[in-house]
Homo-oligomer: A and B are copies of this chain.
Amino acid sequence: MKNLLSMEHLTNRELISIILRAEEFERGEQPTLARSYNIANLFFEPSTRTSTSFEMAERKLGCTIIPFDANFSSALKGETMYDTVKTLEMIGLDAVVIRAKEDEYYNELLEGINVAVINAGDGAGQHPSQSLLDLYTIHKEFGQFEGLNVTIAGDISHSRVAKSNAIALRNLGVNVRYLCPPEWAGDFEAHHSWDGLIEDSDVVMLLRVQHERHAVNSGFSKESYHEQYGLTVERASKMKKNAIIMHPAPVNRDVEITSELVESERSRIFSQVRNGVYVRMAILETILKGRE
């Protein structure tokens, strides 16, 4: 594994290997890198949890982090992504973690670039490290994937998480179902009501209503979205005994989910954040070891 760009490039074997390594890190195993690697985090879009999670993972791996202020960089002067990353390579970076607005921005980095590239979200494309932490969270809970019912609910057509997860979960034998307002389904075949879905879901995976991306005003108030598509206390009460609630966060409380459920017993929302550090350690270690 030289880079991590899209879930489509990952084999089930690679994916499981990352999950197992994350598990080892969570149990307290130490990383085994030969030296301190130089890493920069290029976040052209805001993201508290992804950037701080990568930062923490990098520290735990003993990396040297070179700060990069994407909002104040030569990209503003029209420099191409290729030239920006090539420059960082020349300065001595070993890997870059990138979040950018453009779908598949990484295509221009496939040739001529020798630093490792870890995609931390590309436009309306993928978000593979989030997807891997979701898979890790599910695996920790159920020990395997085959035959699980996972319901992904929300702004599906605009969600990087929905896309990344759909590919991986299907490959792992999971039964993936979608729930969303008809206007938000895009190319997905989706349910438009919780009836019949909530009762047999092993995982209810809520997506953020992405106000800031939503091109079309869909005519929903927060209240009506919550009522029809949100996870309410009443709906949560119908969930199976061991079923869990997930959300990539940040949460719009009382929109996707009733506020009091966010830290309820079924919720793994904050555990996902904790899991993310171990998963990102596993991703980075795997990629950096490939360079040794």
User: Which residues of chain A have a CB within 8 Å of any CB of chain B?
Assistant: 38, 40, 43, 46-49, 51-53, 55-56, 59, 64, 66-69, 71-80, 83-84, 86-88, 90-92, 112, 211-212, 249-253, 262-263, 270-271, 273-274, 276-277
Q: Are A52 and B40 also in contact (CB < 8 A) when A78-B250, A92-B277, A249-B87 are?
A: yes
Give A80 to B75 CA distance when docked, in angstroms.
29
Q: Are A55 and B47 also in contact (CB < 8 A) when A83-B249, A250-B79, A274-B90 are?
A: no
Are B78 and A252 in touch, CB under 8 angstroms? yes
Q: How far is the CB of A59 from chain B (nearest CB, A)?
A: 6
Q: Are A66 and B77 also in contact (CB < 8 A) when A91-B277, A270-B87 are?
A: no
Residues of chain B within 8 A (CB-CB) of A252 are: 78
Are B40 and A76 in touch, CB under 8 angstroms? no
Residues of chain B within 8 A (CB-CB) of A90 are: 270-271, 273-274
20 contacts across the A-B interface (CB closer than 8 A): A46-B69, A46-B74, A48-B68, A48-B74, A48-B79, A49-B74, A52-B66, A52-B88, A55-B67, A56-B66, A59-B64, A74-B249, A77-B250, A78-B211, A79-B249, A79-B250, A79-B251, A87-B270, A91-B273, A92-B277
Residues of chain B within 8 A (CB-CB) of A53 are: 91
Residues of chain B within 8 A (CB-CB) of A67 are: 52, 55, 67
Residues of chain B within 8 A (CB-CB) of A69 are: 46, 51, 69
Are A80 and B46 in touch, CB under 8 angstroms? no
Residues of chain B within 8 A (CB-CB) of A271 are: 90
Are A71 and B72 in touch, CB under 8 angstroms? yes
Among B48, B87, B92, B273, contact of A48 (Cβ-Cβ < 8 Å):
B87
Are A274 and B52 in touch, CB under 8 angstroms? no
Give A92 to B249 CA distance when docked, in angstroms.
17
Are A66 and B74 in touch, CB under 8 angstroms? no
Give A112 to B262 CA distance when docked, in angstroms.
12
Query: Which chain B residue has the least Cβ–Cβ distance from A92?
Result: B56
Q: How far is the CB of A49 from chain B (nearest CB, A)?
A: 5
Give A265 to B251 CA distance when docked, in angstroms.
52
Are A49 and B87 in touch, CB under 8 angstroms? yes
Among B77, B83, B273, contact of A87 (Cβ-Cβ < 8 Å):
B273
Query: Which chain B residue has the least Cβ–Cβ distance from A47?
Result: B74
Q: How far is the CB of A260 from chain B (nearest CB, A)?
A: 12
Q: Are A80 and B253 also in contact (CB < 8 A) when A48-B73, A73-B48 are?
A: yes
Q: Are A46 and B77 also in contact (CB < 8 A) when A71-B72, A112-B263 are?
A: yes
Are B270 and A49 in touch, CB under 8 angstroms? no
Q: Are A73 and B91 also in contact (CB < 8 A) when A64-B59, A68-B52, A249-B83 are?
A: no
